[in-house]
Amino acid sequence: MEKKHMRRIRDKFGNLLDGKQIVNLDIPDVYQFMDEELIDILEVRVAEQIQFD
């Protein structure tokens, strides 16, 4: 994630981020909204980061 993006997130959410990790899914900005390939990538990358019980 670019430093400017991290700074914007921290500026906007401030203390709400205390003790939390920001994760970069490393998905290039080349997809259209609701692109099937993008959805597939998101499902995999998010599942790698979040535990579902």
The stretch 24-49 carries a mean pLDDT of 96
What tens digit of pLDDT does each residue of 7-27 get?
999 999 999 999 999 999 999
pLDDT value of position 51: 80
Domain ranges of the chain: 25-53
From the CB of residue 17, how many other CB atoms can be counted at a distance below 10 Å?
A: 12
Tell me the whole-structure pTM to 2 decimals.
0.72
Distance CA 46, CA 39 (A): 10
Contact yes or no for 9/22 (Cβ under 8 A): yes
